[in-house]
Chains A and B, each alone.
Chain A
Amino acid sequence: MKAARLKTAAIVGAAAMALGACGSSGTATNGGGSGGSGGAALTVAGVIAITGASDFEGQNQAGGILPAIYAINQAGGVLGHKLVYKGVDTRADPADALPAVQQMLATTHNLVMVAGPGSNSAPTIVPVLNAAKVPMTAVAGESAFDRTTDQYFWRLFPPDAANGVAMALWAKQKGYTRVAVVFGTDTGSQGDKPGVVAGLKALNIPVVSDINLTPDQPTYLSSVHRLMAAHPQVIMTESDAATAGTFFGELKQLGGLVPIIGTEATFTAPWITAVKGALGSSFQQAFTSLITAPSSKTAAVTAFEQAVTADKSQVPKPWQSYLNNPFSITYWDGMVAVALAMNAAHSTKPTVFNKYIPQVTNPGPGKVVVYTYAQGVKELKAGKQIQYYGASGLIDFNQYHNSFGNQEAVGSNGSSQPVKLGTVTAKQIEAVPVTGVQ
């Protein structure tokens, strides 16, 4: 009974504070954007799958957005307003997401930003939010958004295809010539698979075995056998954690383990825990993942880590897993950038501050580089132009409101701490001509 269309939004985050936001919304005069202090709380809505098959999306988001809100409030809030988070559950289902989002829009008056929407519901929800003039920091990989003209859409995340092409480039660099692709039939995995297949095709690397795994089966023995019969040198994969645990456990026990290259989505705590449990000591050696390149250890990274640690009681367990979670870091950066844009615009009104978002992130002549929210506010107050350099690294929105950087091949030491193995640059990725990718 996963992801049923019970049209509900679970309200997550700081409950009392969210209530406060609703309760006080009537008295707030948020129309023109106030610079005063002690204003009504501003709501950041997380439009994401909180329950159902893709509930990890909600956890990834909470791991980044809640610490960001915490840190911004610690630094005095935005123009005197505190931020509160309100979760809106899409259940990875557009039919659930639509009324949930509309209910949220109807009941949330001081809404300044949406974190999300995630992949599954983005095509339905992005137009609704754009029409409602709500800025969103989407983590939706659909290539449909590569050249979007929606003014309120912002994506600090590579499209799915970029990750797939990076995996293919990495395989090529490693000299692999026989690749097996093993993907779950769940939404996330199927969303990422075309990019991987197209990348391999573009680089002329043959796919010797193409296996789809129906999630939650008691056994995948025949698929394992089939995979082994094809003698791949490497497996490119993504599936939900439980399925991956069963499949790779059986693969190892039958003696067919070869190196594994996972998509970015595999570099999350549940997947790593499940597969590490199934592979035991072989895991570290076998597993590589291509992820958005973590930034060098700037002050932005330190600020993120400190905030996660300080806010650890609020984020879903285990809190340590978000320290290196690329999705969480993306949400953090999105939140900080939007908050700085409000400061730069002297307004909490989305129609006013929306266009300031690239102005506080993109590099430019004469800009002061800042790494934290507090630092940015200080420089803005001093009348400076700023460039927020995020925990995920350089943020540079193009004309389509997309910003993404290099991809990095990483291993895991067993926790979700990445161990750097190599880099695939954004330039390399863009040079690969892929077609037919969702």
Chain B
Amino acid sequence: MSAWSFYISTLVVYFGVDLLSGVALNLQYGYAGVVNLAFIVFQAFGAYIAAATTLGPDTGAGAFQKYIFGAHLPFPLPLILATLGGAALAGVVGLFSLRRMRRDYQGAILLIVSLIAAEIVTADVPMFNGSNGLTGVPKPLASLGLGLQAYQWSYAVWSLVIAFAVYAGVRWLSRSPWGAALRAMRDQEVAAGAIGLNITVLRMQAFVIGGAIGGLSGGLLVQYIGAWSPGAWGYAETFVIFTAMFVGGLGNYRGVALGILLVPIIFLEIPQFLPQIGYPGLIDSLEWILIGVLWMLSLYFRPQGLVPERKNIAVGSPLIPMGEGTRLASLAGGITGRAR
């Protein structure tokens, strides 16, 4: 049974990582209304930083791979650096992508950012070893001498602890006045600006926090699988998390957690147990088609997701009287014909 135990523990780790992603995207998109179609880039950046700061210095000739800022930092410094790296990258990307613009433009531009990032990392081999990526990243605290099985589950628990700590923290933030301000901005940008909320700063804050969580999730993942390459962060990866969010329910953290459990973990693992149909790779194609259909259906029938945003969250917020109609009638967070 130990093989099952390995498999399940891996899925638990992935659930933790995906939950972090979902929480981050929900903050950025569900609350602040920023369409971060480049989310996976922040996860990737965190992963690269954690990898490069764990692998030790690049020793040049005769070495196995090439990368920048190699260091051999003790746990948990690489994770912290990954988090900071994700935040810093979000700051840079946010500079040009968070300008006041149509939200569909913003989505398209961030999608393009995702593509450029993958292209640059692939092309520039000395940065993070190009398309071959970084491998052989040592596992943290391997020196403790835990058995394989015990280590697996320790890591699984560790990633769950991080994921739920962040989950609780972000949920708390979202319910704070700051979160109310975010929603106000999302729903009524002009009005929110008029009552003195600094729209630019608010949006940037949400984006940077999301970026930091993305970086953290990447660090957590790479320390587990020990390798990272552009193949792991194709821009479509972001869509999986978005689908989970759509399915679960936007703006609602419990819904997002449910969506994460349903889509990337359960739904995408099931085909592994199916017998082959057609030629090799057909199941893979069908799976993506299904994701697309699921995506469109959830937009068509249940834009509010399985677990809708709780309507009473904003009640009592002194900032904005929120009309039921204008609120989450649209899953995008209400870009309902707003001027600007």
Contact = CB atoms under 8 A, between A and B. Distances in A.
A and B, direct touch (CB closer than 8 Å)? yes
A212 B277 CA distance: 38
Interface in A380-438: 435-436, 438
B277 A15 contact: yes
A16 B123 CA distance: 43
Contact of B7 (A2, A13, A103, A131): A103
B337 to A, nearest CB: 32
Interface stretch (A32-40, A94-102, A174-182): A94-102
B92 interface: no
A200 B287 CA distance: 45
B237 A120 contact: no
Nearest to B65: A438
Given A15-B276, A19-B275, A98-B10, A185 B131 contact: yes
A10 B282 contact: yes
B10 A93 contact: no
A363 interface: no
Contact of A186 (B131, B221, B282): B131
Contact of A435 (B62, B131, B229, B284): B62
Given A50-B280, A144-B64, A106 B132 contact: no
B272 interface: yes
A62 B281 CA distance: 13
B268 interface: yes
Interface stretch (A52-60, A278-286, A334-342): A52-60
B64 A8 contact: no
B241 to A, nearest CB: 11
Interface string A2-25: 111111111111011011000000
Contacts of B339: none
A191 B130 CA distance: 10
A80 interface: no
Interface residues of A, number: 60
Contacts of A103: 7, 269, 272
B268 A55 contact: no
A150 to B, nearest CB: 13
Given A1-B234, A6-B268, A87 B280 contact: yes
B14 to A, nearest CB: 6
Contacts of B133: 94, 187
B132 A438 contact: yes
A94 B232 contact: yes
A12 B62 CA distance: 38
A13 B276 contact: yes
A6 B284 contact: yes
Given A124-B226, A191-B132, A51 B281 contact: yes
Contacts of A214: 119, 122-123
A105 B131 CA distance: 27
A201 to B, nearest CB: 11
Contact of B234 (A2, A144, A191): A2
Interface string A128-156: 00011000000000111000000000000
A190 interface: yes
A4 B131 contact: no
Interface string B284-328: 110110000000000000000000000000000000000000000
Nearest to B236: A1
Contacts of B65: 438
B288 A106 contact: no
A124 B227 contact: yes
B229 A87 contact: no
Given A102-B3, A105-B3, A50 B281 contact: yes
A43 to B, nearest CB: 13
Interface string B44-65: 0000000000000000111111
A203 to B, nearest CB: 17
B131 A11 contact: no
Contacts of A62: 280
A93 B284 CA distance: 14
Contact of A94 (B8, B227, B288): B227
A436 B64 contact: no
A1 B235 contact: yes
Nearest to A317: B279
Given A103-B7, A106-B4, A185-B123, A7 B268 contact: yes
B140 interface: no
B7 A190 contact: no
B3 A187 contact: no
Nearest to B265: A7
Given A185-B130, A316-B280, A124 B288 contact: no
Contact of A15 (B136, B148, B235, B275): B275
A100 B98 CA distance: 38
Interface in B28-79: 60-65
A92 interface: yes
Contacts of B240: 4-6
Interface in A92-124: 92-96, 98-100, 102-103, 105-107, 120-121, 123-124
B11 interface: yes
Contacts of B6: 102, 105-106
A45 B292 CA distance: 30
Q: 6 closest A-B pairs (Cβ-Cβ)?
A: A123-B135, A93-B231, A94-B227, A1-B236, A12-B280, A15-B276
6 contacts: A8-B269, A13-B276, A93-B229, A102-B10, A436-B62, A438-B64
Given A51-B284, A185-B131, 18 more contacts: A4-B237, A4-B240, A4-B288, A5-B237, A6-B287, A8-B268, A9-B272, A10-B280, A11-B272, A89-B284, A91-B231, A93-B229, A94-B232, A95-B228, A120-B229, A132-B3, A185-B122, A187-B131
